[in-house]
Amino acid sequence: MTLKTQQRYKSENGIAYLKYGSGSPIVLVHGVGLRAEAWLNQIETLTQRHTVYAIDMPGHGESDLLAEEDSDLDDYVDAIAAWIDSEIREPVIMMGHSMGSMIALNFGIRYKAMCIGIAALNSVYRRTPQAEQAVQQRALDMIKNPALDKVTTPIKRWFNRDPQGFEKQMADLCEQWLLAAPTAGYARAYRVFSRNDGPQDEALAALEIPVIFITGDGDSNSSGEMSQRMAALCPNGRYAVIENARHMVPMTHPDEMNQLLAEFIKQCGTQVRNQI
């Protein structure tokens, strides 16, 4: 399956983004190696009552690389926060997948006045020592060897072993995006991803806005247990585990995902009304 690259807007600070719909804003942040189109199966649902901004993460798609070669997670979040402050100018619901969920959670923790809800999809929390060693080795290999195959292994981790039908179409799209991903942006982001192991417990406990953690039951690197533990720390946290799904749940299981996100958006709106 081939998906035509859509026309972007480009902000002064180098963030490229797609914009759909009208209403209060939702910001979508994809994972490492992908691009804004990774949210293709959520747009119709989310734009029913909202303006949806799907960004290319810095160094991905048409977004510029961050200036510092050794940027950390805060740098990615600061760049996106500056874009929100200049382009959107009102509090947002943040939704992120994989590394995008790290960005969404960090944003909500550090920019409380700018965030009214967070959906963290396939998010990492306290990897095992073996998983931590493996992800950091993959990041090191990417930096040292730019010609390394960065496609085959992720596709095997993210999708079922022999994807068929709709899942095969989504796997083919991801493969195209990974092949086209800017080498430096991909490697730098993966290094940041490998160095982060989820928010501090006290930071999650201080998140008073609604937060939902969603993952697939077959995603061992972003497991249901991880989502459950993070949700338990958040005062308004909840979690859901989608059956027969792996890492790319937003793409492979849109019906289940979109229903959960629609319910979550209503929860965010209820909390805002109660505070007025």
DSSP-derived 3-state class of residue 216: strand
**For residue 51, what is the DSSP state?**
E
The DSSP letter of residue 264 is H
Locate 130 and state its tokens: 């073996």
CA distance 163 to 160: 5
- Whether 97 sits among the annotated catalytic residues: the reply is no
- Catalytic entry in 50, 60, 247, 253: 247
- 63 as an active site residue: the answer is no
* Buried b or exposed e, range 27-64, using 16+ CB within 10 angstroms: bbbbbbbbbbbbbbbbbebbbeebbbbbbbbbbbbbbb
The SS3 call for residue 193 is helix
Query: What span, in angstroms and rounded, lies between the C-alpha atoms of 95 and 197?
Result: 18
Q: Which residue has the tokens 């798609």?
A: 61
Tell me the C-alpha distance between 202 and 194, whole Å.
21
Active site includes 106? no
Provide the 8-state DSSP code for 69.
T
Query: 122, 196, 221, 227: which is the annotated catalytic residue?
Result: 122
C-alpha of 157 from chain center: 17
Left if phi > 0, otherwise alpha if psi is -120 to 50, otherwise beta: which for 63? beta
Catalytic residue among 98, 101, 223, 227: 98
Looking at residue 160, its amino acid is N
Catalytic residue annotation:
98, 122, 247
